[in-house]
Amino acid sequence: MNVLEVRNIKKSFGSKNVLDGVSFSVPENCVFGFIGRNGAGKTTTMRAVLGLLQIDGGEIEVCGEKVRYGRTPESGCIGFLPDVPEFYGYMNASEYLTLCGEVTGIGGSELKKRCSELLSLVGLENEKHRISGYSRGMKQRLGIAQALINRPKLLLCDEPTSALDPVGRKEILELISAAKEQTSVVFSTHILSDVERVCSRVAFLEGGKTAFTGTIEEIHALRRDTALELTLVRTKDIERVMAEFPAAELTDGRILFREASEKDSADVMAFLAAQMIPVLRFERHEADIEDLFMEVVGK
């Protein structure tokens, strides 16, 4: 079952088409990477999914319920972490989560237990200071706990790692990965390395359209043969290899065979062995999500 269905949604602001046919689906217990450059329409899409923005066309369904502008799903099945979450700075983490739980209708011992679970999950169980003194990373972790308070089936995270240092990014990515045990996560970002670390499915947004959607495995299958890189022990042998393989490129003493197949690899190895050419390094560069994204956006 798909927790989220986005079908051909469109949205214009004046004469500018921000969304021009965005479609994708998110299955249960999945971390879904929603990828696009800054200004590509990721936040606009999320606002539409939340019912905070009226779309010009298309349909959105969350847990089988059609999303309508100005109305959150009656099941309360969406949690949301904005890119810059805001809090009541005079509260501590426990007080703030308790307030969020009461607003969503949770109370008594159930709320106390839920707050304890979430504070432990995000590593803030012993934090008694006011939120105003929290670091950006701590606020993002608290934001995830707040978004999970009512056990949503869909968690939307809008650029949650964009302004964090490496340690903070690692912590948030680990939390997002752990959250898929409880919910499905849509994780919007322009940091492609983060997507490969935690996502199982992705969608590329470019020009207001969905340029690609599929699994990480499908991405690698599309660009399985990217390049072979060869570094020789003796620089004098480079000319011999380049003469045999004129399509190869030479960069900083390294010979690069682009879009090389397994047969190409075997041919190069056979030539090196036959000519007794010593090799320092010979490796295949697997295509990654950045390769495909740059190809899709045409840059």
**Per-residue pLDDT tens over the stretch 45-58:** 999 999 999 999 99
Q: What is the mean pLDDT of residues 5-17?
A: 92
**How many angstroms from the chain centroid is the CA of residue 33?**
3
Say if residue 38 is exposed, middle or buried (CB neighbours under 10 Å; 0-12, 13-18, 19+).
Answer: exposed
pLDDT digit string, tens, across residues 242-253: 999 998 888 888
* Predicted model pTM: 0.77
d(CA 143, CA 83): 10
Q: Which CATH architecture has domain 2-221?
A: 3-Layer(aba) Sandwich (3.40)
Cβ-Cβ contacts under 8 Å for 267 (sequence gap 6 or more): none
Q: How confident is the model at residue 73 (pLDDT cuts 50, 70, 90)?
A: low
pLDDT in tens, 138-175: 999 999 999 999 899 999 999 888 878 888 888 889 98
Which pLDDT band, with edges at 50, 70 and 90, does 39 fall under?
A: confident
CATH T-level assignment (fold) for domain 224-297: Alpha-Beta Plaits (3.30.70)
CA distances from 136 to 90, 130, 172, 191 (A): 16, 13, 11, 18
Which residues does 25 contact at the CB level (< 8 Å), separation at least 6?
2, 4, 5, 6
Domain limits, the chain: 2-221, 224-297
